[in-house]
Amino acid sequence: MNTTSIKTTTLSAKRNSGAGSTLSLNQGYFARRNALDWVFAVLVTVGLLYAFGRYGAFMDVYEKGILLAAIPATIAMGWFWRPLQVLMVVVAGFALLGIASYQVDGAGSLARSEQVFWLKYFLSSQSAILWMSVLFFMSTIFYWLGMFSKNQSNAFESLGSKIAWVAIGMALIGTLVRWYESYLIGADVGHIPVSNLYEVFVLFCWMTAAFYLYFEAQYKTRALGAFVMLVVSAAVGFLLWYTVIREAHEIQPLVPALKSWWMKLHVPANFIGYGMFSLSAMVSLAYLVKQQADETRWYKLTPLWMLGVVLCFLPVVFRSKSPAEVGGSYYWVGYLAVSGLIAAGILLGRKRIAARLPSFEVLDDVMYKAIAVGFAFFTIATVLGALWAAEAWGGYWSWDPKETWALIVWLNYAAWLHMRLMKGLRGTVAAWWALVGLAVTSFAFLGVNMFLSGLHSYGTL
């Protein structure tokens, strides 16, 4: 039998054995769609066209364009990653139930948030976001239980992953219902809920978790969830504290500078960048923990000591922002205690953790892809921010502290990617750089709001 016959026979055997995943790559894009894909596409199209028909009269030309462009974009996302189809349909269904529950005699009433059972306890924006917070904490706990579990099937990690999906769903339901609630307060108050620290922290939490779950599915490992969910839980912790000291969950009218459709584009793109940079930093921490797992000299365990220093430093910074009458100081004492336990657990269990983590090659690849995606969206956000600034303040760039630190963040990751692609940056240096990048990003995100003032001072703590 000659070589050609062998190749033909092998290909025929693959066809007959049902190796559809290989052959499907040669099929057309639409030929790979199944019936549920087309049902999802119809639901999205009908739903968004209905929204266009009902609310189009209240939109300007840009908002109409965004809504129409959302139809193919949403379908493409659902087709690209099928779990999003279930998430979108479930979220849309419960969000519409929540919105409909506010209706009485053909008009909406915020008072019903305390009168209707499922609004009061589940579907009002505040209830849904509180559920999100609890579920993200639970997800983190189960991921860490899975990290130390001896069970090969690891039901703890699986449960942590499922709970994270539910938490994302509650975050999205809360966001959509909050959007509607803002219009119940007044037509001039209504706005997309990405306008203050409370709202963008919700955005950060679910986006970071969603991107992690995508990597989890692609790399067939849940071990990284224990690390990535730490940064999500830290964000949730800040969100709860900020809610208490500022009553940040209360919907407020937009300041004039934020009354722009640019906000709908700039802020989500920005927080995809922040989320991915944070994800890459936690993966880099996992990389360094795995690398130093066999180190017996404790003073050499630099990433863990640095983590401990940062966790101790945060309560000192935020404690000064906590009014004594609401017990803000006690909150940060509790935060310090929990953080200390986490750092000590990682330090003492580093060998077990290292054994559970995927290979260095996988960790390095996830780190790179997260930074690459984050950098792309952060670049888009920076350009959109410049266009927004030109409209609001008359200039594309003003060296405002927020703009300056955004540029520093951009240059930091641009240099990281340049060194990666041009010089083959890998391993320890890349991991440390990504981890330090989180400190730079955090200051640009929060530090500027706390310590500096400028044109973006409406976002101060």
Q: What is the pLDDT of residues 316-367, one digit of tens each?
A: 555 555 554 445 566 777 777 787 788 888 888 889 999 999 999 999 999 9
pLDDT of residue 7: 42
Cα–Cα distance measured from residue 324 to residue 322, given in angstroms and rounded to the nearest whole number: 6
Radius of gyration of the chain (CA): 24
Helix H or strand E segment including 306 = helix 302-319
Which residues face 107 on adjacent strands?
Answer: 104
| Closest to 379 (Cα-Cα) out of 269, 268, 279 | 269
CA angle 361, 366, 369 (to 5 degrees): 120
Residue 226: CB partners within 8 Å, gap ≥ 6? 140, 143, 144, 146, 147, 353
The encoded tokens of residue 15 equal 């066809």
75 — pLDDT class (breaks 50, 70, 90): very high
Cα–Cα distance measured from residue 322 to residue 388, given in angstroms and rounded to the nearest whole number: 33
pLDDT of residue 90: 97
| Closest to 426 (Cα-Cα) out of 227, 276, 284 | 284
- In percent, the amount of the chain with pLDDT more than 90 equals 52
- For the chain, how many residues are written? 461
Residues 201, 242 contacting (CB under 8 angstroms): yes
User: How does pLDDT run across 162-211, given as a tens digit for each residue?
Assistant: 999 999 999 999 999 999 999 999 888 888 899 888 999 999 999 999 99
Residue linked to tokens 């790559």:
25
Other beta carbons within 10 Å of 273 = 27
pTM listed for this prediction: 0.89
Residues 78, 43 contacting (CB under 8 angstroms): no
Query: Residue 310 above 80 pLDDT?
Result: no
Residues 356, 224 contacting (CB under 8 angstroms): no
Helix H or strand E segment including 120 = none
Using CA atoms, how far residue 439 sits from 37, 274, 310, 352, 385, in Å, is: 41, 11, 9, 27, 22
Using CA atoms, how far residue 253 sits from 107, 121, 171, in Å, is: 21, 25, 21
Residues 74, 88 contacting (CB under 8 angstroms): yes
460 — pLDDT class (breaks 50, 70, 90): low
**Domain range annotation of the chain:** 34-80, 87-216+228-254, 266-461
313 — pLDDT class (breaks 50, 70, 90): low
Q: What does the pLDDT average to over 16-40?
A: 71
